[in-house]
Structure 1
Amino acid sequence: MGSMSLFNRKADLPGLVGATRLCTPEGKGIKRLSQGDLAIIDAPDLDRAFAQRLLAARPAAVLNVSRFTTGSVPNFGPQLLLDGGIHLIEGFDSDILTTLKEGKKGRLTDDGKLYYGERLVASGAPVTETAAVEAFVDAQQSLVDHMEAYFGNTIQFIHSEAPLLIDGIGIPNSGANLEGRKVLIASPGNNHRTKLKELRNFIREYDPVLIGVDGAADTLVELGYKPALIVGNPTGIGADALRSGAHVILPAEPDGHAEGLERIQDLGIGAMTFPAAVSSATDLALLLADYHNAEMIVNVGAPLDLDAVFAGVETATPASLLARSKAGTKLVDADIIANLYTVRTSGSLAWLWALLGILVALAVIIVIAGTSGDGSFTDNLIDTWNSFALMVQGLFN
């Protein structure tokens, strides 16, 4: 494709003018987006699904805090928007997400500057069709190279750790009864504290076995829970958690050397080692729970999906992929469980709450009426009703 002018308009116009709207990949703000608006997003590697929702709203331009294509994955979203005649500007400062005045008219200039009136709000870099196509091709080749290396490492890992993955050789006795139990593995990262709070009803109802990984063990203790197991390097775990009564399992090298053993000895507590060529304590915790026949494993703080593997996320190692594959259908992400315990207020439920309020009010009135006289409950209720009927009759006479 050839290069294109950023704005296809008359030279005497001041720029693209439209209401600024913040939109998210989850759909927030898109319903308010109208033709000619300036959509502001934070979507690295804009995917085709999000681009289609934006395209349907026909904004004049899409302003991205992140890069439309980072180079990690070949995403078609930017080309889809450009082919639809929508201008793309990227690399805005993230402050625009907090300083944005929703619905306020903004003016976007040729060189990617956004103004409110005469005040410069933010600036970014225009994206042309040529640049978008080149970025797509480069990312496609980069992905092929990355995946060849990734799966080559996966094969090597299987060769070295097949006994662990297949027969569980090297997995220690957990010291806790996991068989047939629901297990919750809390790992540091990905807003794990908030996720644990969202799971409080699940924890209260099912009393799962709690496994704290690395610093997330401290989070469990701080939230008032007692972990049954702690897996991780104790040098990064607080003394309160280590002394909570949990069985401590130290990740170790294949030769048995475990970092942090001195801290365990200084605290005077016991620990077991888990020797394996696996660097992630979360992966070891998953293998441990699966081997000891946990009924369900809830993963908090360490999700893994194909996008993370494609993007080369540091935690998306061959061991992480294989550990989750080993857990199979037992493994559930915390977000799924949290959604089951989230009650969303809707119009269909509002009338039920209103009806409940009316019934409660009637019950209170009946109790007061039935106990307000010297007679029996029924006589008092009849006398009150008769008095009310006579009062209403008098109003119309």
Structure 2
Amino acid sequence: MRSSVQKRPVEAPPGTIGTARVERRSRDLVARLRPGDIAVVDHLDMDRHTAQALVDAGVVAVVDAVAIISGRYPNLGPQLLADAGVEIVDGVGPAALGAISDGAAIRLHDGVVLVDDVEVARGRVLDAESVAAEMERARAGLATQLAGLTHNSTELLRREQDVLLHGIGVPRLATRIAGRPVVVVAGDYDQDHELAGVRVFLREQRPVVIAVGTAADALRRTGVRVDVVVLDADDELPSAASLRAARDVVVRLDRGSSPAILGQLDRLGVRPVLIESAVAAADAALVVADAADPSVIVAVGLRGTLAELLDSQRTGVASAFLTRLKVGPRLVDGAAVPLLYSGRVRPWHLLVVMVAGLVALAAAISVTPVGHDWASDLYDIATGLFS
């Protein structure tokens, strides 16, 4: 006998469900993320670079122990997360990092973090509208940031005036740069999009290509020959193949230091030249290129606007600011190249213009009495040839 009671499907609990990946430092978390995960971090004022890495990893939500927008300045990360449809819950508190186990299944609902349906933390939910409102309020903090940038720039210029103002200590390269265009590529900011925009320029102008750090590997994979690799003594090395293929390898290191990277390069058979300075590696690449007297320097993947520099959250903001002042009119942002350079004039371009001009000339002559006589003569000649 069949029961008259029908089983009803169990409704899924409300909210966003995913596997928690817990790490205080966002950059250490990215490699462990999988699509559908929920990133649990401790990242004040998340920058755009980190947010893009989280979006690329396929996270469905970000839980931040602190304020993802503190209001100090309009950081660009939260807007990118919101535009990508990633749920944001911030301000859950540092205790949440201990209460949420790495790899645990968690659920987010109205700002509440639940593990096995038990609340372990609670924070603020940010959607696209609230992120936009917070960003607008954060713009008021730019004045304070500018004051700090001015002070840091003055201190850096006092320490680095030999390098930045007089070029003392800037190494000479084996690669010939004088009078040639240079493209400096750093894998820091929107590199792939900007690199696609300068493809025609790279192919036709054959500039000197300077890669910063692991950007050398990315360029090599896409078939772009790298002439110079600039490394930071504290950062990850590109592959041995990329280093050996370059004509010059430059290492930026702090004054008086003897970093382990020099021993690593020696074991690879690479003999680098050194630049001792506190500026960041990407800025050192601009300084080295500028000292060799190029015709123009195209910067790909380097932050250029004030908001982007502040968003980078690094002590090198002052060095980036001063370096761009030093390079001055030689520097062109990679994003502007497609607007300024569309390619060389090719022979078929001239042929099309010539044919169009001849057609226009023939049309103009054909409506004159002389044109009628010429057309009649041509007709008689053609008739005689084929009769």
Taking structure 2 as the reference length, the TM-score comes to: 0.54
1:179 & 1:139 partners in 2: Cα distance?
42
> 1:196 offset after TM fit, Å?
2.3
Q: For 2:169, give the aligned amino acid.
A: G
1:330 & 1:125 partners in 2: Cα distance?
38
C-alpha contact 1:251 1:273 (8 A) present in aligned 2: yes
Note closer, same or farther for the CA distance 1:340–1:256 as it changes in structure 2 (3 Å cut). same
1:185 & 1:258 partners in 2: Cα distance?
24
CA deviations on 1:70-90 (whole Å, 9 max, x unpaired) are 724489xxxxxxxxxxxxxxx
How do 1:306-345 and structure 2 match up within 5 A? 306-309=306-309, 311=311, 313-314=313-314, 317-341=317-341
> 1:293 offset after TM fit, Å?
0.7
Partner of 1:289: 289
> 1:94 offset after TM fit, Å?
3.4
Structure 1 runs not aligned, ≥5 long: 1-43, 45-66, 76-90, 98-110, 112-121, 344-351, 360-377, 387-397
1:226 is paired with a residue of what secondary structure?
A: coil
C-alpha contact 1:256 1:273 (8 A) present in aligned 2: no
1:277 & 1:200 partners in 2: Cα distance?
32
How do 1:196-345 and structure 2 match up within 5 A? 196-233=195-232, 235-278=236-279, 280-309=280-309, 311=311, 313-314=313-314, 317-341=317-341
Q: For 2:331, give the aligned amino acid.
A: L
C-alpha contact 2:73 2:138 (8 A) present in aligned 1: no
> 1:124 offset after TM fit, Å?
4.5
1:255 is paired with a residue of what secondary structure?
A: coil
C-alpha contact 1:249 1:271 (8 A) present in aligned 2: yes
2:245 is paired with a residue of what secondary structure?
A: coil
Partner of 2:187: 188
How do 1:1-397 and structure 2 match up within 5 A? 71-73=71-73, 94-95=84-85, 124=127, 139-140=139-140, 142-233=141-232, 235-278=236-279, 280-309=280-309, 311=311, 313-314=313-314, 317-341=317-341
Q: For 1:227, give the aligned amino acid.
A: V
> 1:298 offset after TM fit, Å?
0.4
Note closer, same or farther for the CA distance 1:341–1:165 as it changes in structure 2 (3 Å cut). closer
Identity %: 27
C-alpha contact 1:72 1:311 (8 A) present in aligned 2: no
Note closer, same or farther for the CA distance 1:231–1:96 as it changes in structure 2 (3 Å cut). closer
Note closer, same or farther for the CA distance 1:246–1:220 as it changes in structure 2 (3 Å cut). farther
CA deviations on 1:80-130 (whole Å, 9 max, x unpaired) are xxxxxxxxxxx9683389xxxxxxxxxxxxx9xxxxxxxxxx995976xxx
1:312 & 1:215 partners in 2: Cα distance?
18
How many pairs align?
248
C-alpha contact 1:229 1:247 (8 A) present in aligned 2: yes
Structure with the greater relative contact order (CA < 8 A, sep ≥ 6): 1 or 2?
A: 2
1:249 & 1:300 partners in 2: Cα distance?
18
> 1:170 offset after TM fit, Å?
1.0
> 1:173 offset after TM fit, Å?
0.9
1:185 is paired with a residue of what secondary structure?
A: strand
C-alpha contact 1:184 1:208 (8 A) present in aligned 2: yes
> 1:272 offset after TM fit, Å?
1.0
C-alpha contact 1:210 1:226 (8 A) present in aligned 2: yes
C-alpha contact 1:308 1:316 (8 A) present in aligned 2: no
Note closer, same or farther for the CA distance 1:254–1:199 as it changes in structure 2 (3 Å cut). same
1:236 is paired with a residue of what secondary structure?
A: coil
C-alpha contact 2:170 2:275 (8 A) present in aligned 1: yes
Taking structure 1 as the reference length, the TM-score comes to: 0.53
Greater CA deviation, 297-306 or 191-200? 191-200
Greater CA deviation, 224-233 or 189-198? 189-198
2:174 & 2:226 partners in 1: Cα distance?
12
Q: For 1:237, give the aligned amino acid.
A: P
CA deviations on 1:248-289 (whole Å, 9 max, x unpaired) are 1111111153451122111112111111111x2110010011
C-alpha contact 2:186 2:282 (8 A) present in aligned 1: yes
1:224 & 1:384 partners in 2: Cα distance?
57
> 1:299 offset after TM fit, Å?
0.3
Q: For 2:242, give the aligned amino acid.
A: A
CA deviations on 1:153-207 (whole Å, 9 max, x unpaired) are 1111011011111111110112211111100101113232343233221112211
2:259 & 2:297 partners in 1: Cα distance?
26
Partner of 1:364: none
1:264 & 1:319 partners in 2: Cα distance?
26
RMSD value, Cα: 4.1
1:337 & 1:148 partners in 2: Cα distance?
32
1:227 & 1:274 partners in 2: Cα distance?
19
2:186 & 2:74 partners in 1: Cα distance?
30
Note closer, same or farther for the CA distance 1:337–1:384 as it changes in structure 2 (3 Å cut). farther
1:146 & 1:228 partners in 2: Cα distance?
37
Note closer, same or farther for the CA distance 1:148–1:94 as it changes in structure 2 (3 Å cut). same
> 1:330 offset after TM fit, Å?
0.2
CA deviations on 1:11-32 (whole Å, 9 max, x unpaired) are xxxxxxxxxxxxxxxxxxxxxx
Greater CA deviation, 143-152 or 310-319? 310-319
1:182 & 1:125 partners in 2: Cα distance?
42
Q: For 1:167, give the aligned amino acid.
A: H
1:176 is paired with a residue of what secondary structure?
A: coil
1:307 & 1:206 partners in 2: Cα distance?
31
Q: For 1:282, give the aligned amino acid.
A: A
2:74 & 2:190 partners in 1: Cα distance?
28
Q: For 2:272, give the aligned amino acid.
A: A
Partner of 2:7: none
